[in-house]
Structure 1
Amino acid sequence: MSTDEDVTTAGRFAALDRKLKASWEDLFARSRLLKTIQEGRIDKQLYAIYLMETYHYTLHNARNQALVGVRALDIGIPYLKFCFEHATEETGHEHMALHDLLALGLPKEALKIPPPLPMTEALIAYLYWISATGNPLRRLGYSFWAESSYDYVMPLINRVKEDLDLKPAQMTFFVAHSKIDEDHAEQVRRMITQNCKTEQDWQDVERAMTTSLRLMGNMMEEVYAEYERLRREQSPGYAFLGLMK
């Protein structure tokens, strides 16, 4: 890569990072879930609903990532390998979310997996859409923020751990991801550098990044709304959480 190309790529990443920072700031400003965590008011039921919805969308991440790989041959062998290897590494991570939910004190026999909330379904559907249609590179936009999210959310994870008095063994989903996502984030940046050749490629990555993060924020908001319904005894799907010890 020439010096001019290096400068251009660095500038594009700087712009992408600024856009991502602004998107996170917007999410923090409007999310009742995140504010509740920041203020030390989270309880086990709210965290459990978030974990269940995390289970739902994570269940599909390996599948939609692999779907990109099916379409990536025209991009190049390295990108195809990245898609399938990343999908393999993500397989089964949803079970860590269920493990952590049970570790909150819910008897295993009481666990009932409700359907995903509508905004969780919207996030899942969008990730399948960008994986199955359009530019095969654009799912990198989702990976770009998801694999680097700990830069923004680690203080919240630590606050949840402290306020709910959780051990690392009770937070396997976040502990495991925090260890592997740093390497994944570097891989994503490398794939973007190697494969985004046109202005449209970069725009597609940016749009998928901001849209998927906004949809994640919408999911978080619905998690909080469902928690409020649960407290009013108007959430049949999550009524089983009343059995937590």
Structure 2
Amino acid sequence: MTDLAMTAAPTSSSPLDNGKPGGFYRALIEATHADRQALMQGALIQRGQRGDISLAEYRAFLAQAYHHVRHTVSLMMACGAELSGPSFVYRDALRQAIAEYVDEEKGHEHWILDDLEATGVSRDHARTRPPLFETELMVAYGYDSVRRRHPLAMFGMVLVLEGTSTSVASQAGRALQARLELPESAFHYLFSHGELDISHMAFFAELMDSIEDPDEQAHILHAAKAFYRLYGAVHDAALADAPNWHDDVLESRNDLVF
């Protein structure tokens, strides 16, 4: 690992701008710019890209990632079920998009358990320790948005979670690997998401540009703004929870694997 990777300035660039001029995707990126910047300026992302994260903080981040990522497929399936209603009878492209997302996202929570185990945390502890309130709230908001507000609110979540990964996941993973001296097997989630979400965002941009109804666009925008705030709160809560992931605390509970 080069010194450059350890000292590279944190980035706050926008998600890949693959949308067409005048299309909804670019309008969505512009309308959520301030919300995105607020998330990107958060302590976890800023410090993570510099590699300035402790082992306990990395474990705490992964623990909360596990608790929201394990709901991703279920949230998308809930969205797909809503898209089967009579209002969407002609929207085959949307249903197909959800099916593709489900296929891509299956099993990603197991990557996170692999990463935690590689840092020395037992999989059982990661599974059974309840999510923090902020994580539970973000997940609950996702289900509520899809079922009560509008099924396409799901795409506001996709913009936030995958759009963030394209900019920061791989860089943060490299910096943290060098700082913490952990094996590559501890970074499945960050490395894989950083690479996969670049292609996902190109697909997402094309899909967003196919949505022309102003009401549907408004629901996606509303959800995106909400998820930027909720995801930032999850990051802050994870950092605050880090003391519970120190070796001595885990050892007292027999939750270390080595």
TM-score (norm 1): 0.83
Paired with 2:150 and 2:126, the residues of 1 have a C-alpha distance of 39
Alignment correspondent of 2:104: 89
Paired residues for 1:18-33 under 5 Å:
18-29=30-41, 31-33=42-44
Unaligned runs of 5+ in 1: 1-5
What does residue 175 of structure 1 align with? Answer: 191
- Give the residue type in structure 1 aligned to 2:96: K
Does residue 188 (structure 1) correspond to residue 204 (structure 2)? The answer is yes
Equivalent residue runs for 1:23-172 within 5 Å: 23-29=35-41, 31-38=42-49, 40-73=51-84, 74-75=87-88, 76-106=91-121, 113-154=128-169, 155-172=171-188
Q: Which runs of 4+ in 1 moved over 4 A?
A: 107-112, 228-231, 238-242
Counterpart CA distance in 1 for 2:31 and 2:105 is: 26
CA distance in 1, matches of 2:134, 2:124: 27
Aligned residues: 233
2:3 corresponding residue in structure 1? none
Q: TM-score, normalised by structure 2?
A: 0.79
Root-mean-square deviation over aligned CA pairs? 2.7
Letter in 1 for 2:143: Y
Aligned letter for 2:22?
T
- Report if the CA contact (8 A) 2:166-2:193 is conserved: no
Higher relative contact order (CA 8 A, sep 6+): 2
CA distance in 2, matches of 1:191, 1:13: 8
2-structure distance, mates of 1:82, 1:141: 14
Matched residues in 1 for 2:257 and 2:175: separation?
21
Give the drift of 1:39. 5.3
Distance 1:240 1:55 in 2: 20
